[in-house]
Amino acid sequence: MGDIDVPYALSIHTDDPFEARVRTQEFLGCAHRMTVLDRDRPFLARVRHRSMNGLGLMSSVYGSAVEIGCSPPIHLVTVNFVHGGQMFVDDGGATTVADPGRGAVFCFHEELTMRWSPGMRQLMLTIDKSMIERHLRTLLDTAPHEPVRFTGEVDLADGGQGIVAAVGTFQRALELCGKQGPPPVLAAEIEHGILTALLLGQPNNYTDRIFGARTLPAPRVVRRVTELIDSAPQTAFTVADLAAFAGVSARSLHAAFRRQLGSTPMSYVRKRRLEHAHDELLSLDPAAGIKVIDVALRHGFTHAGRFAAAYRARFGESPSATLRR
């Protein structure tokens, strides 16, 4: 996991443990307990937090060792990435160690206690549980019958790479879009990427059902979905939206697209967005001062290099060359 920076964030910088705990609770919307374990070191808390439609990023550094305790109910699932230290976790009797090579997922179904080593730096992704439940429903094509429970340890060298990449995209979008935040089409892409990476990449009590065999929908379903995408280029579609429109599960729709188009629903959405970005670049006056990255963000692309590479592969020239015409 790379940098723990949270761009354009609300921040806390205090040597008062009470203030740090209270203001962090305000950021997260849930209570917790905190005990300073090492009084010989300066406490000095440095916390930054930014949220977007049920998703959040929070970076935290405490100068001294601390113990943090949480009791259910808590409305969040958190994915925790540790830098330069260790976090020892007791999650309802199950023990986990998080460090730079291993992250941790907390669902807060049981009492949870964390012990942070002095100076440990953490980046924490927060996700409202209702978002996970909605996304899971689209994957299963039925309502979940029990709360989602993830395996606690995240192997950052293997299965956890997907969630690491999704969080990196979230950070990059917050940086590029500034204080106003990502536009709706981009925010929807970020949400979909994070939820899909977590539910498909991190083992959980629904993993077998998510990857179970399904009957593929009829060809007309794919045709209806592509017609919808083509008719509404500025709509921030997600796989969940498209599956609901088609009346099938997200997994079934994905498989049908693979069979009929050799692609995925979101790949088709991105292809059409790329074409609309091309049309906009052709229509712009180069003297107007509009930047290529502004156009890319408007159409849901956060990474300038990847946008340029995909654009060149599709149109045979760079976005800037199109803009200069």
| Tens of pLDDT, residues 179-215 | 999 999 899 989 999 999 999 999 999 998 888 766 6
pLDDT value of residue 57: 98
Which of 75-79, 134-138, 173-177, 213-217 has the lowest average pLDDT?
213-217
pLDDT value at residue 21: 97
Residue 1: which pLDDT band, with cuts at 50, 70 and 90? low
* 66-95: average pLDDT: 95
Give all domains of the chain, ordered by start, each with its CATH number.
10-130 (2.60.120.10), 269-324 (1.10.10.60)
Give the distance from CA 11 to its chain's centroid: 21
d(CA 6, CA 19): 20
Looking at residue 131, its pLDDT comes to 97
Looking at residue 319, its pLDDT comes to: 93
Return the amino acid letter for 313: A
| Alpha-carbon span 230 to 273, nearest angstrom | 10
Neighbours of 182 (CB within 10 A): 23
Residue 119: CB atoms within 10 A of its CB come to: 15
What mean pLDDT is reported for the chain? 92
What is the share, in percent, of the chain residues with pLDDT greater than 70?
A: 98
pLDDT class of 255 with cuts at 50, 70, 90: confident
- CA distances, 159 to each of 68, 162, 163 (Å): 27, 7, 8
Inter-residue contact 243 to 138 (CB < 8 Å): yes
pLDDT score of 251: 82
Q: What is the CA radius of gyration of the chain?
A: 22
pLDDT digits (tens, 9 = 90+) for 158-179: 878 999 999 999 999 999 999 9
Q: How far apart are CA 27 and CA 51, in angstroms?
A: 9
Residue 69 to residue 106: CA distance in whole angstroms: 12
Please give the Cα distance from 292 to 306 (Å, whole number): 13
Q: In the prediction, which pLDDT does 216 show?
A: 62
pLDDT, average across residues 105-129: 97
The angle subtended at Cα 17 by Cα 89 and Cα 117, nearest 5°, is 35
Q: Is 90 exceeded by the pLDDT of residue 70? A: yes
pLDDT over 90 percentage in the chain: 72
Q: Is cis: bond before 73, omega within 30 of 0?
A: yes
Q: What's the confidence (pLDDT) of residue 27?
A: 96
User: Residue 28: pLDDT above 90?
Assistant: yes
Alpha-carbon span 99 to 301, nearest angstrom: 31
Chain CA centroid to CA 236, Å: 16
Residue 224: strand pairing partners: none
d(CA 247, CA 259): 18
**pLDDT number for residue 324:** 84
**How large is the average pLDDT for residues 124-131?**
98
143 pLDDT higher than 90: no
Q: Name the H helices within 202-249.
A: 207-210, 219-231, 239-246
Across the strands, what pairs with 155?
102
Both structure tokens of 109: 């179904």
pLDDT over threshold 80, residue 42: yes
Which tens digit of pLDDT belongs to each residue from 259-313?
Answer: 899 999 999 999 999 999 999 999 988 888 888 999 999 888 888 889 999 999 9
Sorting pLDDT into bands at 50, 70 and 90, what band is 36?
very high
